[in-house]
Structure 1
Amino acid sequence: MIHLINQDYLTEILGHLIAIPSPTGMTDDIVRTVCDELDTLDIPYELTRRGAIRAHLGGIDPKPRRALVAHLDTLGAMVRRLKDNGRLAIVPIGTWSARFAEGARVTIHCDHGLTYQGTILPLKASGHRYNEEVDRQPTAWSNLEIRVDECCSSIEALWDLGIRVGDYVSITTTMEVSGSGFINSRFLDDKAGVAAILAAARALRDHNCPVRLDCSLLFTISEEVGVGASHVLRGNVAEMVSVDNGIIAPEQNSSEFGATIAMQDSSGPYDRHLTNHLIRLCMEQEIFFSRDIFLHYHSDAAAALEAGNDIRTALVCFALDASHGYERTHLRSLTSVAGLIAAYLTSAPLFAQDKNVIGPESSYPMICQPAPDKTPGSSVGS
């Protein structure tokens, strides 16, 4: 399936998504954009009350129903206080280090569509004034402020501009694709996952590959604050694969140029049956992949389980270096993930005669263990 993925489309749609500001809580524009793309792909969809997308890929068989999920929301900030010096105190949206906010160009989104540009700076920003004190400042959001690119040096001037406490602050992204295939940008998490799902769906459409089981394509809008897929599922989904980032860092085992299958994250192990199914697909399709465990990680799928959904879950990851900072992935990794998604959508049910509901032992899928050897002299089972 990996050879069916259109890399030009994958890169193009990713760049389009990256350019749209979408911190958690301000996702209407990115939702509209993805809905437009689903219209182009002729994939029907509906919106939840909160604005998440629930799209539908019809399969040969209606059940057991599958789901793929990725999130549209990103990190950002919010105005906490208008300061006497005409600058803005801020708090983060989502969990990310103030270290990566310093120096960022931003847009302040005010009421009635007003926007202003600015820069996030530490309180002591001028080396010619503060000398080594610049380096001794704490890495903390309380040590940051926005310098607004308007003539304002007082609270009154900020107020007259229409800037208020609670205004959203989006971080400027600049996506660059190198000749060697590396993609650098803020917020590849998780717009790269969204792009991979769309690229897989387009590949199946363009090459007339039938989807085996009905599948929901879910695009959530509040994963970065922990809500994830807790609110977007319906009871008819039996298994769900989350698509998100795989950490490139020391003591991690994520693949920088392939897909990564997460075995466990901070919420616990992923479903053994579904995870092994994805691993088998990688091997059968000759998709380069690795397996990893993430200790400080929480996905859409984990949120769905915590909300009480009785589903099998798994996590497929694209490579991501410097997560929640200045991020980098590789086109080969995104292509591998898109290829695995396509393979999953066209694969046979996880259990041929089972709908993934708990029933009698005779019908519930079990991993068979070898029977103990009870021959004389055997130590097995003793």
Structure 2
Amino acid sequence: MKLNKEYIVKTLVKYLDIPSPGGYTTKIINEAKKEFEDMGIPARLTNKGALIATFEGINDKEHKTISAHVDTLGAMVKEITTDGRLKFHKIGGGSWNAIEGENCHVITQEGKKYRGSILPRQASSHIYGEASYKTLRDGENMLVRIDEKVHTKEEVLNMGIRVGDFIYMDTRTEITENGFIKSRYIDDKSAVAIVFSICKYLRENNITPKYTTHFFLSNYEEIGHGVSAVPEKTKEFIAIDIGTVGEGQESDEYSVSIAAKDNKGPYNFELRKKLVDVAQKYNINYKVDVYNRYGSDASAVVHQGYDVNFACIGPGVDGTHHYERTHIEAIENNIKLLIKYITE
């Protein structure tokens, strides 16, 4: 199976460049809708703003649904301090230390963007000495320093910044010559690239899926309620997310990771075995893994009461919810596995 690596990387970078912290996803969803429609794949919005694209298959009685989430971690303005800095709440998980020193944008309700940086209150070691590195990184001590001539709360308000405005971090995306992809928000923009690469491959090779297949781009996964409108004929639901690479894990940055269990419980054994069998049959590099602190759209779907078989796969990612890294091979292996899964 020959995949268009240039398209995969181009699509990944395109969607990484569209800010989409949880709750602020309209722009990226609209762009994805257009991309599906440009491929001739009809797509519709749900009431909650998610996107369902449907690729008609040979069998229309039993459907498959494959999800990827477009929302990422981020932040929201909680308070404007008297000296013109911003306290904020995190959106989604991740540690406070993971965003220290990162550049960001603050976007107002009217759509105006302001640059800033995230720093602890006592950032300067020249001023605060040991306190600069001993002070706890938390919601009280981490602040956005706005790149404008502001020194008071009133000056910030005059710029149009308000409580409730979204904050998103620079991704610092870098693609190395030997295939490594470094960026914030590989979780889950890599899955978006996987979905479009699957669709492109099927279209260009005139391949029809064995079963009608829905591609569900959810927009609240990081908050815990990404998918709430599963197409009614769905028998099998697979979430594309990420595999966690690190101490105690089987996943690596070159394989498709197949989840056996997350902290909510085991995934469906029969569907997991089906994916493993496909990977083995076509010599696709894979790892089966058990995750410690993890949930996916697939586990959320069954906890809502949907009667579907459910699984979760994804590229192995190092440094998840931090400055993440994977390899193009892991993304390619996910694409290959899902293409074979929906066409056999």
TM-based fold match above 0.5? yes
Partner of 1:224: 222
Partner of 2:137: 139
Asked whether 1:263 is paired with 2:260, we answer: yes
Deviation at 1:200? 1.2
C-alpha distance in 2, partners of 1:78/1:112? Answer: 15
Deviation per CA, 1:225-266: give whole Å up to 9, x if none: 00021x121322111111010011011001321111111111
Partner of 1:300: 297
Deviation per CA, 1:123-169: give whole Å up to 9, x if none: 01112111221111112232101110111100110111111111111
Task: Give the % identical residues.
Answer: 33
**C-alpha contact (below 8 Å) 2:279/2:337 kept by paired residues:** yes
SS at match of 2:313: strand
Deviation at 1:42? 1.3
Deviation at 1:95? 1.2
C-alpha distance in 2, partners of 1:76/1:217? Answer: 24
SS at match of 1:339: helix
Which range is displaced more, 197-206 or 184-193?
A: 197-206
Aligned AA for 2:33?
C
Q: CA RMSD in A?
A: 0.9
Aligned AA for 2:225?
V
Structure-to-structure mapping, 1:207-218, within 5 angstroms: 207-218=205-216
Shift >6 Å, 4+ stretches: none
Give the TM-score normalised by the residue count of structure 2.
0.98
Structure-to-structure mapping, 1:120-269, within 5 angstroms: 120-229=118-227, 231-269=228-266
Deviation at 1:174? 2.0
C-alpha distance in 1, partners of 2:252/2:100? Answer: 29
SS at match of 1:66: strand
Unaligned residue ranges in structure 2 (runs of 5+): none
Unaligned residue ranges in structure 1 (runs of 5+): 348-382
Aligned AA for 2:302?
L
SS at match of 1:233: coil
**C-alpha contact (below 8 Å) 1:54/1:232 kept by paired residues:** no
Partner of 2:12: 14
Partner of 1:273: 270
C-alpha distance in 1, partners of 2:326/2:139? Answer: 27
Deviation per CA, 1:152-192: give whole Å up to 9, x if none: 10011011111111111111112110011000000000010
Give the TM-score normalised by the residue count of structure 1.
0.89
Q: Give the count of matched residue pairs.
A: 344
Kindly name which structure, 1 or 2, has the bigger radius of gyration based on alpha carbons. Answer: 1
**C-alpha contact (below 8 Å) 1:197/1:341 kept by paired residues:** no
Asked whether 1:335 is paired with 2:344, we answer: no
Partner of 1:114: 112
Partner of 1:360: none
